[in-house]
Structure 1
Amino acid sequence: MTAAHADLLTDRLADRPSLADGAALWRIAKDSRTLDLNSSYSYLLWCRDFAGTSAVARGEDGTPVGFVTGYVRPDAPRTLLVWQVAVDAAQRGRGLAAAMLDGLVRRLAAEQGVDTVETTITPDNTASERLFTSFAARHGAQVTREVLFGTPLFPDGPHDPEVLYRIGPLPPPQH
């Protein structure tokens, strides 16, 4: 596979979600059994209001099989905060999450000058830790970690702390 072919494949796996994708994103998140599930309404809003800073991977029939939701932080316009990453169980183990993340960040670097990625990860989520530390390694970027939301801040029962992973600066996009 050539580099150009790999870029086209990654871009195809980082399509912008549409409003019609909201229900599928909610189902994928629900079926993951690891994500904090938001209301179905929130996934519909996400697909409407944050489609430009999110990505969806589609199966051959066009149905979403994975997604990355994120937003550019209003007080840090070069920083993408990745909210959730999920892949349908039947599609896991194929590098889909990494391809979606790479494609989304490449798109936002070119369109908006994004050069930093943030996400929060609970200490027991080794899959997310591997995804984001390998993303940093692929892009030659530093990773810093600090607790962003400690356990006492969560009003709805016991919740592990959310550790902020800050990755950057990322190299400028290549043309």
Structure 2
Amino acid sequence: MDSDIFTLRKPEATDGFALHKLVERCSPLDPNSVYCNLLHCSHFAETGIAAVNADGEVVGFISGYRPPERQDTLFVWQVAVDARCRGQKLGQRMLLALTERLAPVGVQYIETTITPGNVASETLFARVFAALSAPVERSVLFSREEHFDGQHDDEMLYRAGPFKLAKPNS
């Protein structure tokens, strides 16, 4: 699939079911309910981004939100890229475009959680943080034993920033 044919845009409520199906195809992502995905595409559209191919199919998606007590922060919930589109830096393009869209409203930090060993996510976020020249702190947000009763790996919090985007030439 040629990366030049992707359109990056805000999600729409009608993308909710397509997002649900995309996440199902993107192991090891945790699937959410269709209703949750509908909310990500409507209530949280400002902090999400969809990648759509020339056929109008959602082939990439980032869901996120701004924590109420930290409006300068984008928390990235999930990054999903269809297997047919991997290897083209689509996740990186989406995250940088989303960051650029949110910078004017004061977002200067990115947070996400990554389970240890998720090399694809670790690589994606390392590249984005480097592109933003953003320092990174890492800590356990949700522990395997304390929060998951031993049934899920730790969720490591990555917090990067502050970053400043280059201002466009006037």
Please say whether Structure 1 and Structure 2 have the same fold, judged by a TM-score greater than 0.5: yes
Structure 2: runs of 5 or more not aligned: none
Partner of 1:125: 118
Decide whether the 8 Å contact of 1:30 with 1:37 is kept in 2.
yes
Decide whether the 8 Å contact of 2:67 with 2:74 is kept in 1.
yes
Partner of 2:130: 137
Partner of 2:109: 116
TM-score normalised per structure 2: 0.91
CA deviations on 1:86-111 (whole Å, 9 max, x unpaired) are: 1011111111000000000000002x
Structure 1: runs of 5 or more not aligned: 1-8
Partner of 1:23: 17
Q: Distance in 1 between matches of 2:7 and 2:92?
A: 10
Is 1:74 paired with 2:78? no
SS of equivalent to 1:163: strand
SS of equivalent to 2:63: strand
Paired residues in the alignment total 165
SS of equivalent to 1:69: strand
Shift of residue 46 of structure 1?
A: 1.1
Q: Give the fraction of aligned pairs with identical amino acids, expressed as a percent.
A: 45
Q: Distance in 2 between matches of 1:59 and 1:87?
A: 12
Partner of 1:95: 89
Is 1:163 paired with 2:131? no
Decide whether the 8 Å contact of 1:13 with 1:103 is kept in 2.
no
After superposing on structure 2, the runs of 4+ consecutive aligned residues of structure 1 that deviate more than 4 Å are: none
SS of equivalent to 1:130: helix
Shift of residue 14 of structure 1?
A: 3.3
Q: CA RMSD in A?
A: 1.7
TM-score normalised per structure 1: 0.89
Shift of residue 173 of structure 1?
A: 4.7
Decide whether the 8 Å contact of 1:109 with 1:173 is kept in 2.
no
Distance 1:13 1:156, change over 3 A: farther
